[in-house]
Amino acid sequence: MIDDLADATWDRELDDLFLRIGHRFGPADLRRRMRDYVRALLGPVGRKNGWQLAEHAGHRTPDGLQQLLNGATWQADAVRDDLQTYVADNLGEDGGVPILDDTGFIKKGSTSAGVQRQYSGTAGRTENCQIGVFAAYATSLGRALVDRELYLPKSWTNDRERCRAAKIPDERVFATKPELARAMVLRALASPLPIAWVTADAAYGQEWRFRRMLEETAVGYVLAVPKSQQVPRCGRIDHLFTQAPDEAWEKRSCGDGAKGPRVYHWAAVQLPVIEDFDGECPTHHRWALARRSISRPDEIAYYLGYAPAGTGVDQLVRVAGRRWAIEECFQAAKNECGLDEYEVRRYVGWMRHVTLAMLAHAFLAVTAAQAAAKGDAETVPPWSRSPWRKSAGSWQLAPRTGPARPFASTP
């Protein structure tokens, strides 16, 4: 967090960021308000509401900062584009991974844009809340939030008068969370962010249109799916992995966590369904993966993958492990940058506050990366025979042939 003893380097880098986005705000007084707002979001403010942010910025009232969010003329999407370029310039790597997820913002009343009683993963229960769908970008250098959309339930989009009162644009119609995520991935692909993979939890991974869009753009993915997910030619994914031989499960780390390497038993199998070829050679393979807790083996998570030919299982496991980065982004952006402490009701105000909070969080991520660089150097389907085969160091599924019999025995 920024304090009175922040050094000249910090101030210079923050000023460079303001210069990068300043042209989006027009008049000098509006640019000053933007700077004051972002500095206050980064500041040692107990609760980052209007009055406390204004006090930290030296304003007599919060009116100027509220005008920045609700009445001034500037485009939050344009600042979002600058944010993506900033992250690409400072955290971008060829193996970059966008991560999609949503988070809840508990709210009272019924007038805040998109608010209703709905399930919030943040609260772990149904609450009166708003839901934001976000994209984070993660590399070995760091991670930052790079896009956002406010989820609007049908109770809102079917009531255009209510939408207009909350300043929701007429073109915003109902879109599911995976549809919002698809739009964000397409924007990220059109941005300067280097992207090789996409990952997300099961709410997004189970949506076939989302997976197909990634395949059509030749972007690799490792997406969590529910245990009931159907795998072409193989049935339910959990039933597929009950048939895996013991030796298919191997200890692998999917990356470091707060307590060191996150080690699980993983099984991965290359699926027989291949549609993408360059001449006679496949360009990509589809995979199914399972992650089993070592201490609690009944806890198993499942994934579908799509990867360039030649990709090893360790790489798929590392991509799956990237998903936790967005949870860390949410925690940091809320705790350090006031992502969830806004006092706006209208759609425009929400988009603007969240975008500036993301900008503040990205600045912290880039600053941390620079400091680190300086300090371093149900029914089991019948099979003719066990479909699991090991070839060139990875497990693959052979197509069914011959009379069917249970999978109980191995070849």
pTM over 0.85: yes
Burial of 308 (0-12, 13-18, 19+ CB in 10 A): middle
Q: What is the pLDDT of residues 155-189, one digit of tens each?
A: 999 999 999 999 999 999 999 999 999 999 999 99
Q: Which long-range contacts (CB under 8 A, 24 or more apart) does 213-216 make?
A: 213/182, 213/185, 213/186, 214/185, 214/306, 215/276, 215/284, 215/306
Q: What is the pLDDT of residues 12-28, one digit of tens each?
A: 899 999 999 999 999 99
Q: Taking all residues of the chain, what is their mean pLDDT, rounded to a whole number?
A: 88
Per-residue pLDDT band at 387 (split at 50, 70, 90): low
Percent of the chain clearing pLDDT 70 (strictly above):
87
DSSP 131-150: EEEEEEEE-SS-EEEEEEEE
